[in-house]
């Protein structure tokens, strides 16, 4: 939800004959934030004008309706920042998330399992070859089938997709979804790169995080759709620069 906030306030330092100024602010908030909207507005105006007298201001709040976008958009990050984006009250809270893809090898934090929108929880480890030691779980065809089926629900939504570090499983699963939407390997990798950069710029992703899509996930996706294989492009773009050997299924 977005709201338009209009505050009328006496500004310290202005000629009293000038009266009050009215400034509109457009802010993204969640519905249960209404009680703290006044604090948010006071902070915004204080930061911008450096001279607000909160006790002399009046506040009007108007909910705005945003048109639904036909384009699916993406946030790809690690589990810590995913929780911060979804947790009301967090300094990074972002209420615009419309769907969640959560990928972890262990238990899912409550902040993630209590997400109110469409959500998919995939439990497997960041493995490229089967390894049953210590209870590790390798991504499987069934996992990819669940992911691609869930992808049919994501049109027009902002999708938050995360794994533990935000480097391997999450990026590979985003590529899998893009392949299912008909993007070529080059187009999918370009969009992934743009998304990563956008998330870094917005503070949703750590700048130093690598992008190394899990090649087993990419390979499994290649087996399940009729388009061109993504694996060669992923090897060339993300793995060759690290002098890694080619993936062997």
Q: Residue 98 maps to which CATH number?
A: 3.90.190.10
Q: Judge whether 14 lies within some domain.
A: yes
Same domain for 119 and 173, yes or no, is yes
Please give the Cα distance from 44 to 52 (Å, whole number). Answer: 10
Q: Which 8-state DSSP code applies to residue 60?
A: E
Sign of CA dihedral 220, 152, 212, 109: negative
User: Does 104 reside within a domain?
Assistant: yes
Residue 134 sits in the same domain as residue 13: no
CA distance 155 to 19: 49
Domain boundary among 64, 95, 114: 64
Give the residue numbers spanning the domain of 145.
73-242
pLDDT digit string (tens) for the chain, length 249 residues: 444 444 444 444 434 444 444 444 444 444 333 334 445 444 444 444 333 344 444 545 454 444 444 689 999 999 999 999 999 877 678 878 999 999 999 999 999 999 999 999 999 999 998 876 778 999 999 999 999 999 999 989 999 999 999 999 999 999 999 999 999 999 999 999 999 999 999 989 988 889 999 999 999 999 988 789 999 999 999 998 888 888 988
Say which residue the tokens 């490229």 belong to.
Answer: 128
Picking from 64, 90, 113, the residue at the C-terminal end of a domain is 64
C-alpha span between 246 and 243 (Å, rounded) = 9
Shared domain for 89 and 161, answered yes or no, is yes
Residue at a domain's end among 64, 93, 117: 64
Is 164 within the bounds of a domain? yes
In a domain, 205, yes or no: yes
The confidence score (pLDDT) of residue 90 equals 75
Both 236 and 147 in one domain: the answer is yes
DSSP conformation class of 188: H
Whether 93 and 202 map to the same domain: the answer is: yes
Q: Are 215 and 231 in contact (CB under 8 A)?
A: yes
Query: How far, in Å, CA of 85 to CA of 160, rounded?
Result: 9
Query: Same structural domain for residues 130 and 7?
Result: no
Cα 240 versus chain centre, distance: 27
**199/171 Cα distance (integer angstroms):** 13
Q: Is 249 a domain residue?
A: no
Sign of CA dihedral 154, 145, 138, 230: negative
* C-alpha distance from residue 222 to each of 16, 17, 29, 50 (Å): 70, 71, 39, 56
Domain co-membership, 227 together with 120 = yes
Residues 27 and 80 in one domain: no
| pTM given for the model | 0.72
Does residue 248 form part of some domain? no
Instruction: Please check whether residues 178 and 235 belong to one and the same domain.
Output: yes
Same-domain check for residues 79 and 185: yes
92 and 48 both lie in a single domain: no
Say if residue 12 is in the same domain as residue 134: no
For the chain, how far is it from start to end, CA to CA, in angstroms?
45
User: How far apart, in whole angstroms, are the C-alpha atoms of residue 130 and residue 115?
Assistant: 31
Residues 6+ apart with CB under 8 A from 241: none
Q: What is the number of domains present in the chain?
A: 2
**Within a domain: residue 247?**
no
């Amino acid at each position: 939800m977005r709201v338009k906030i209009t505050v009328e306030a006496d500004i310290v330092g202005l000629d009293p004959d000038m009266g009050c100024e009215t400034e509109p602010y457009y802010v993204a908030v969640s519905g249960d934030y209404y009680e703290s909207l006044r604090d948010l507005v006071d902070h915004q105006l204080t930061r911008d004008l450096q001279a607000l007298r909160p006790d002399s201001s009046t506040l009007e709040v108007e909910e705005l309706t945003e048109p639904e976008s036909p384009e699916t958009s993406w946030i790809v990050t690690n589990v810590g920042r995913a929780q911060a984006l979804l947790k009301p009250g967090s300094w990074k809270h972002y209420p615009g998330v419309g769907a969640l893809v959560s990928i972890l090898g262990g238990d899912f934090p409550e902040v993630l399992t209590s997400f109110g929108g469409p959500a998919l929880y995939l439990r497997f480890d960041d493995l490229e070859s089967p390894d049953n030691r210590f209870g590790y779980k390798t991504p499987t065809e069934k996992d990819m089938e669940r992911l691609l089926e869930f992808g049919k629900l994501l049109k027009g939504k902002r999708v938050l997709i995360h794994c533990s570090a935000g480097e391997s499983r999450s990026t590979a699963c985003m590529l899998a979804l893009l392949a299912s939407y008909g993007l070529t390997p080059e187009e999918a990798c370009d969009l992934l790169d743009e998304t990563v950069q956008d998330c870094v710029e917005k503070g949703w992703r750590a700048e130093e995080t690598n992008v190394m899509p899990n090649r087993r996930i990419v390979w499994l996706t290649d087996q399940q759709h009729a388009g061109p294989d993504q694996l060669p492009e992923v090897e060339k773009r993300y793995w060759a620069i690290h002098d890694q050997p080619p993936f062997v299924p």
